[in-house]
């Protein structure tokens, strides 16, 4: 299996919404973004699959060294070997890749966040910086496109947090800010014990509106000159925004189940957004 095939298999098996948004890219850019996604998947899997935190720390330290090896011209892992041809011109830097690893390290040392600024910092490491690199792979000419990408990454991560409240709680993590829980009188024990209450629903509505605001701010920041190139990101936004709507329609039943869209619906949303140049999504979000 070649490095590119390894990354393609990693992306396809994940079933992620990102996979569907990549399908319509030209081959070189598709290989680059698939390798970047596979890198993010690899380091994220370290945290999700390692039961022993010391082992996880060791593995993430290995990935830090591997990033150094990548930029020294001597990568050893299939993912970094696949990334190697795409380092020039796409904004994939050692600092940004290490920032992703730092986000995973935060997961090993922190299971609660006091307020939104603290959670926002984590979201940037987990998704905002990935959005910036992705925008570089898709292609952009205007600096404001990185603002769009950063905000879109935050919106995606907030959507993930809302979707995964129950799964994360079973791992001992609650990403929802402590001050938000206090504002809506939701106890951490309620979430850890999967108690669905009217107060929890109000909390979820508040978090969803925060995410939707970032979707709106993202499309407002996207310069018209780069909109066509950024169609993959807009396709992902269409899928993730539809997921957020689906979670709301299901009355925020995220404590004991994982709500998702079917593969055919993801493909349809990605294809429709690609063909329409994102106009439908942008109109819907109010730009």
The Cα angle at residue 109 between residues 107 and 112, in degrees rounded to 5: 70
CATH of the domain at 76: 1.10.600.10
Q: Are 254 and 164 in contact (CB under 8 A)?
A: yes
pLDDT tens readout for residues 183-226: 999 999 999 999 999 999 999 999 999 999 999 999 999 999 99
**Could you say which of 80, 109, 138 is where a domain stops?**
109
Nearest alpha carbon to residue 207 among 238, 234, 186, 236: 186
- Examine the domain organization and report whether 142 and 241 are in the same domain: yes
Domain encompassing residue 246: 111-287
Listed in sequence order, the DSSP H helices in the chain are 3-14, 17-22, 27-49, 53-71, 78-83, 94-109, 116-123, 129-138, 144-163, 165-170, 178-183, 188-192, 198-221, 231-249, 263-275, 279-285
DSSP-derived letter for residue 84 is G
Q: Are residues 102 and 244 in the same domain?
A: no
d(CA 28, CA 25): 8
Query: For residue range 107-159, what is the model confidence (pLDDT) as tens digits?
Result: 998 889 999 999 999 999 999 999 999 999 999 999 999 999 999 999 999 99
Q: Give the tens place of pLDDT for each residue, 234-275.
A: 999 999 999 999 999 999 999 999 999 998 999 999 999 998
Question: Distance between CA atoms of 260 and 275, rounded to whole angstroms?
Answer: 23
Cα–Cα dist 191/176, whole Å: 10
Q: How many domains does the chain fold into?
A: 2
Mean pLDDT of 49-57: 87
CA 242, chain centre distance (Å): 15
Residues across the chain: 287
Give the range with max mean pLDDT: 19-23, 25-29, 200-204, 267-271: 200-204
Domain termination site, one of 64, 80, 109: 109
pLDDT for 17: 74
State residue 1's pLDDT score: 85
68 and 187: one domain? no
Same domain, 228 and 122: yes
Residue 15 pLDDT grade (very low, low, confident, very high; cuts 50, 70, 90): low
Same-domain check for residues 127 and 65: no
Question: 109, 132, 167 — which closes off a domain?
Answer: 109
Specify whether 104 is located in the same domain as 124: no
The reply to whether 149 and 259 lie within a common domain is yes
Give Cα 90 distance to the centre of its chain.
18
Question: How would residue 23 be classed by pLDDT, with cut points 50, 70 and 90?
Answer: confident
- pTM here is 0.92
Same domain, yes or no, for 174 and 131?
A: yes
Is there a single domain that holds both residue 42 and residue 144? no
Q: Specify the pLDDT at position 283.
A: 73
**Residue 19 clears pLDDT 90, i.e. is over it:** no
Do residue 104 and residue 118 come from a single domain?
A: no
**Are 55 and 133 members of one domain?**
no
Q: 189 and 250: one domain?
A: yes
């Amino acid at each position: 299996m070649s490095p590119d095939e390894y990354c393609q298999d990693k992306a396809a098996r994940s079933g992620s919404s990102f996979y569907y948004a990549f399908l319509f890219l030209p081959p070189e850019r598709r290989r680059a973004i698939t390798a970047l996604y596979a890198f993010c998947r690899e380091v994220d899997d370290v945290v999700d699959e390692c039961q022993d935190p010391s082992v996880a720390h060791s593995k993430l330290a290995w990935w830090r060294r591997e990033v150094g090896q990548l930029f020294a011209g001597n990568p050893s892992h299939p993912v970094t070997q696949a990334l190697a041809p795409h380092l020039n011109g796409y904004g994939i830097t050692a600092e940004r890749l290490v920032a992703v690893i730092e986000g995973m390290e935060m997961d090993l040392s922190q299971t609660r966040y006091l307020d939104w600024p603290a959670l926002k910092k984590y979201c940037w490491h987990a998704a905002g910086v990935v959005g910036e690199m992705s925008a570089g792979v898709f292609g952009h000419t205007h600096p404001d496109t990185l603002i769009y990408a950063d905000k879109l990454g935050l919106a995606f991560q907030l959507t993930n947090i809302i979707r995964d409240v129950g799964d994360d709680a079973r791992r001992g993590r609650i990403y929802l800010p402590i001050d938000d829980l206090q504002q809506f009188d939701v106890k951490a024990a309620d979430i850890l014990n999967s108690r669905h209450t009217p107060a929890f629903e109000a909390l979820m509505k508040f978090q969803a509106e925060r995410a939707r605001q970032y979707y709106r701010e993202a499309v407002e920041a996207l310069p018209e000159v780069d909109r066509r190139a950024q169609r993959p990101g807009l396709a992902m936004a269409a899928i993730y925004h539809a997921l957020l709507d689906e979670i709301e329609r299901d009355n925020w039943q995220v404590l004991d189940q994982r709500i998702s869209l079917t593969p055919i619906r993801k493909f349809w949303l990605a294809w429709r957004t690609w063909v329409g140049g994102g106009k439908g999504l942008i109109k819907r979000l109010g730009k």
